[in-house]
Amino acid sequence: MTELLERAIVKVKMLSEHEQDTFAALILEEIEDEARRQKAFANSQDALARLAAEALAEDRAGKTQPLDIDAL
């Protein structure tokens, strides 16, 4: 455990049970969210690679045009 986390836990231990539970729920939710983000990112790599390959093929085939920033 890192020193920063240990310091945070010492401070959380000083709080009421309700406040401790609130912090615990926030931490667990953040860990679960991060796991979901990592899984989504890992699962999207194949799709992103396919899209990139398609875009490069379209560009090589002359099916693209330069982006005109002023036209946006």
Tens-place pLDDT, residues 6-49: 999 999 999 999 999 999 999 999 999 999 999 888 888 888 89
Of the listed ranges 13-17, 60-64, 68-72, the one predicted with least confidence:
68-72
pLDDT at residue 42, rounded to an integer: 84
Q: 47 — alpha (psi -120 to 50), left (phi > 0) or beta?
A: alpha
In this prediction, residue 20 carries a pLDDT of 98
Residue type, 27: I
* pLDDT value of residue 40: 86
The pLDDT confidence band at residue 58, using thresholds 50, 70 and 90, is very high
Report which DSSP code applies to 10.
Answer: H
Q: What is the pLDDT at residue 17? A: 98
Which positions ≥6 away from 55 have C-beta within 8 Å? 64
Backbone angles phi, psi at 62, to 5 degrees: 75, 20
